[in-house]
Structure 1
């Protein structure tokens, strides 16, 4: 039996433009701490092999402290390490992979064509390739087949299965099936794929180890795997300290602040939330987003709130009246029906202001 750890897409030194400068710097430091948790996971599992399938760095240049952090972590690992540069961090003589010396047990693929590295003490062989520019229109597995009768055959590649027209190493299901590999460790997708199979070849994308935005939500981490008797099993190991989450909070019949406090009590303060207020409410019970955001921001690392509630039917009770009020409500109902979801809160607020003006009431706050 052989054991391995499979990770990809750390995107170290990401800019984190959406955060204030101090928080962005803190997040980059936390990214480097991911490397320590990666090493701890590998040591605790006593893995034989570590596959790093590309985009470890977010760009072609890296901060010296980040390169040093990666070097130190990899140097301390007892496992054989295989690294395939991706489209964000392609290999070149001036890249961090080419400019600095790396430990002997760290094997960095440096060319677009698949290269073979035998690990005789493990009875294994690992194939891999590198992006050498920001784009790659051809498949890294085109025409590839590993002819290994007596060795466990692994692949470590960066590529995309989503489209034949991808600019990021488009790989096909048939190419994976024809590869002759026992396990293909892939990078590029930031969502964990789960264990998949094409022909006799098992493959997976582990996703990124920690999200960087609301397009990378939920638990993120790495895979621990085993190869035995030609069969592969994978276990997902969460690695992220912070998660990006987009919960919906139904405030129907509730005080918004009390509903938010209940969500806070059930949540982790380390996380980053975009909270959507949903449900129906009375016209005079508009959520105070400023106060609610302040409440959430005092608990979470970062939080934002959006009002996606709808007005209760009581607001429209006079819509069928043959009056100016009825005419106004019918016109606004038609506009709401045709509006995009992002426009509805503003239109509903206009309805409340319009009704207040027509009925001679004080304008709602």
Structure 2
């Protein structure tokens, strides 16, 4: 049996911080990604397409998205099983209840695992999130009640991966890896963690299209071949319609804004899609760093964002402290202030020196 598994697409997510036009482009890309997943299901002639939740975001769902999902899954022409998650939970006003799904679509609607037969001797157990917060995980006190190969589809936090996946946040519908085996399940197809993970008895596919910067790993859709003894082989497919990059640009030795633009342009020249640049290094004291002015360095990109990282002005404060001037007295006083940490002291010094030079327009850049 061949099953195609994905999760955490998050249709209609707002993409805060990138501007309205670009946010619309990114949301359109999420739809393209789902079309690619559906096309892959047809191409690979899978026996079923599985979604482990967070297919869309309930608070922002529109009638247009409902029509899009209905048509997309009908075009899959294979059985589609959907397990509502945290952001697309099943409820009275849920699109899962309101959409007139085609006959090949099945939505798990119960808040506990219920059985669906995929083939003779193969059972898929699925469950839905029905509230904003969940208590025990779906595997708590659960055990299969029949013979054969048993698979599960749900949205939740596997506890051994919580620190890596969610930075120590409160777990959501938590379970442990050994609960999968103890329940009599051969494999669990999951959603919720955005970092891909292939464990012996469970799989997180990761979000199939980038939702933020810094996402890495072979995420996408996972083709599972389920053997007669319940073993699962996996092949990952890149189905993303978006390309999102994080790039660090070091500015050591740069003395003016033109050189900054040149370095940023060179760093992103071979990239496509959306790029976020983080500036670092020591720059000349007169370099005018305005991140907003650098976003036009690469017109070939869909969008370029620039932020200041560990940028430090290359200023000889010791030499300035030796001056018999107001500037020298200022530097001496700040350097002697024991209440300041090193980073704050440097910022105060640079800001004050620019103010003394009458360069008030540059103060906000710091």
Residue 297 of structure 2 aligns to a residue whose secondary structure is helix
Structure 1 position 53, deviation (Å): 0.7
Q: Distance in 1 between matches of 2:337 and 2:213?
A: 30
Q: Distance in 1 between matches of 2:336 and 2:100?
A: 67
Asked whether the 8 Å contact 1:284–1:364 carries over to 2, the reply is no
Work out the number of aligned pairs and report it.
Answer: 348
Structure 1 position 348, deviation (Å): 5.6
In structure 2, the residue matched to 1:157 is 154
Range 34-43 or range 211-220, more displaced: 211-220
In structure 2, the residue matched to 1:47 is 46
- The structure 2 residue matched to 1:127, chosen from 107, 125, 128, is 125
In structure 1, the residue matched to 2:240 is 240
Q: Distance in 2 between matches of 1:58 and 1:22?
A: 19
Q: Distance in 1 between matches of 2:47 and 2:97?
A: 25
Asked whether the 8 Å contact 1:222–1:236 carries over to 2, the reply is yes
Range 329-338 or range 232-241, more displaced: 329-338
Asked whether the 8 Å contact 1:218–1:244 carries over to 2, the reply is no
User: Against the structure 1 CA distance between its residues 258 and 129, is the aligned structure 2 distance closer, same or farther, given a 3 Å change threshold?
Assistant: same
- The structure 1 residue matched to 2:189, chosen from 185, 191, 199, is 185
Q: Distance in 2 between matches of 1:290 and 1:302?
A: 12
In structure 1, the residue matched to 2:138 is 140
Structure 1 position 310, deviation (Å): 1.6
User: Against the structure 1 CA distance between its residues 124 and 332, is the aligned structure 2 distance closer, same or farther, given a 3 Å change threshold?
Assistant: farther
RMSD after superposition: 3.2
Q: Distance in 1 between matches of 2:182 and 2:345?
A: 52
In structure 1, the residue matched to 2:165 is none
Structure 1 position 266, deviation (Å): 2.0
CA shift digits 1:213-241 (9 cap, x unpaired): 33756774222222234432323322222
Q: Distance in 2 between matches of 1:306 and 1:4?
A: 42
Asked whether the 8 Å contact 2:277–2:306 carries over to 1, the reply is yes
In structure 2, the residue matched to 1:58 is 57
Structure 1 position 184, deviation (Å): 0.4
Structure 2 residue 267 is matched with structure 1 residue 260? no
User: So what's the TM-score if we normalise by structure 2?
Assistant: 0.82
User: Against the structure 1 CA distance between its residues 154 and 344, is the aligned structure 2 distance closer, same or farther, given a 3 Å change threshold?
Assistant: farther
Q: Distance in 1 between matches of 2:338 and 2:235?
A: 47
Residue 35 of structure 2 aligns to a residue whose secondary structure is helix
Asked whether the 8 Å contact 2:37–2:239 carries over to 1, the reply is yes
User: So what's the TM-score if we normalise by structure 1?
Assistant: 0.82
Q: Distance in 2 between matches of 1:334 and 1:46?
A: 73
Q: Distance in 2 between matches of 1:167 and 1:353?
A: 48
User: Against the structure 1 CA distance between its residues 113 and 307, is the aligned structure 2 distance closer, same or farther, given a 3 Å change threshold?
Assistant: closer
In structure 2, the residue matched to 1:250 is 250
CA shift digits 1:168-225 (9 cap, x unpaired): 3122233223122221011112222x2113xxxx112112122333375677422222
CA shift digits 1:149-176 (9 cap, x unpaired): 4x33210011122469946312223322
In structure 2, the residue matched to 1:113 is 112
Q: Distance in 2 between matches of 1:185 and 1:287?
A: 48
User: Against the structure 1 CA distance between its residues 250 and 17, is the aligned structure 2 distance closer, same or farther, given a 3 Å change threshold?
Assistant: closer
Q: Distance in 2 between matches of 1:220 and 1:337?
A: 47
Structure 2 residue 303 is matched with structure 1 residue 306? no
Structure 1 position 85, deviation (Å): 0.7
In structure 1, the residue matched to 2:179 is 175
Range 183-192 or range 101-110, more displaced: 101-110
Residue 180 of structure 2 aligns to a residue whose secondary structure is helix
Q: Distance in 2 between matches of 1:183 and 1:67?
A: 30
Structure 2 residue 82 is matched with structure 1 residue 80? no
Q: Distance in 1 between matches of 2:204 and 2:336?
A: 46
User: Against the structure 1 CA distance between its residues 347 and 3, is the aligned structure 2 distance closer, same or farther, given a 3 Å change threshold?
Assistant: farther
Q: Distance in 1 between matches of 2:340 and 2:246?
A: 26
Q: Distance in 2 between matches of 1:183 and 1:189?
A: 17
1:206-217 counterparts in 2 under 5 A?
206-214=205-213, 216=215
1:277-356 counterparts in 2 under 5 A?
277-296=279-298, 298-308=299-309, 309-312=311-314, 315-318=316-319, 321=322, 328-329=330-331, 331-332=333-334, 338-339=340-341, 346-347=347-348, 349-350=350-351, 352-353=353-354, 356=357
Asked whether the 8 Å contact 1:60–1:95 carries over to 2, the reply is no
